[in-house]
Structure 1
């Protein structure tokens, strides 16, 4: 994969099958987890996840990145809320959650960008995508570069500590962090808050 292309751009540069597989690989676990946690019936989780991903895939060419951070995340959240509503309307039943109206209220809150549920979606989305991107870009770096980045940027060790531990210069620690962060920013362009 070309690391100069963001995840979103790369979806437009590959075959439909590969783009679909990448989208499913990234977002299926996140969407399924949300549906389960907020009371969706087990039988509905796969169907709704498939519906959300299908809409995202089909409408991705229409998605326009906006100058504001998190535009894709918000767009995905809105699609998820709409698919949830549509799914239960088509089935002509209420969400089979404890206190079914609570689930409907959660869907309403998911659509409201200022609600606590939306803020939680945003935080969890970003944390999840960061972990995914970290795993995706890791193979682009030598083990020593990755370890320097990991110890310094992720574990919060000082540059001096990492330098001594790995037998590299302090400057090399800063360079490792800079290189990995640059790659992550490129890959995550449009997916995450900056």
Structure 2
């Protein structure tokens, strides 16, 4: 797969098993973590996660990320809330909600883009996706380039300190950061806005 293609663009072709495998690998842990908060059993977590990803797969051709930022994140959140609600209805269960609140209110908050719970979903989604994308793009860079990026962009050291630590020019530190961020932006286009 061409690494210059964004993650969402790679999903446009549903026959691309590698792209869909990465989607499952990226989103299964995030969805399971949210389900765990609702008191879902391990079996329920697996069933609901599979249902969410099945709906994403089936309905992806309908998804439009333009013109609003965070469209995929919001779309996924809505699908997850609907699948969660449908699953509990089928099983005739009412799991405890976050903070002791009513389960229906929790689902409603997940569906409301302005709620605090939706904001929490957005933050956790973005953090999770960034970590996944960092791991995904890491092999595309030399050890020195990655170290310069990590020490400068992630660890917060000055370009001068990184330059001295790694024995490279200050310009090379900035170039490393620029190259890695460019790849991350391209791969994450539409996932994190």
Question: Does the TM-score normalized on the shorter chain lie above 0.5?
Answer: yes
User: 2:70 aligns to what?
Assistant: 70
Query: What is the total number of aligned residue pairs between the two structures?
Result: 192
Correspondence 1:94 to 2:93: yes
Structure 1 SS opposite 2:65? coil
Separation of aligned partners in 2, 1:176 and 1:74: 32
Q: How does 1:25-174 map to 2 (within 5 A)?
A: 25-91=25-91, 93-97=92-96, 102-174=102-174
- Normalising to structure 2: TM-score of the pair? 0.93
Q: Is the 8 A contact 1:160 1:170 kept in 2?
A: yes
Flag structure 2 segments of 5+ consecutive residues without an equivalent: none
Q: Is the 8 A contact 2:10 2:16 kept in 1?
A: no
Higher mean alpha-carbon deviation, 81-90 vs 134-143, is at 81-90
Flag structure 1 segments of 5+ consecutive residues without an equivalent: none
Q: Is the 8 A contact 1:148 1:176 kept in 2?
A: yes
| C-alpha RMSD of matched pairs (Å) | 1.7
- Normalising to structure 1: TM-score of the pair? 0.93
Q: Is the 8 A contact 2:11 2:19 kept in 1?
A: yes
Higher mean alpha-carbon deviation, 128-137 vs 96-105, is at 96-105
Separation of aligned partners in 1, 2:89 and 2:14: 35
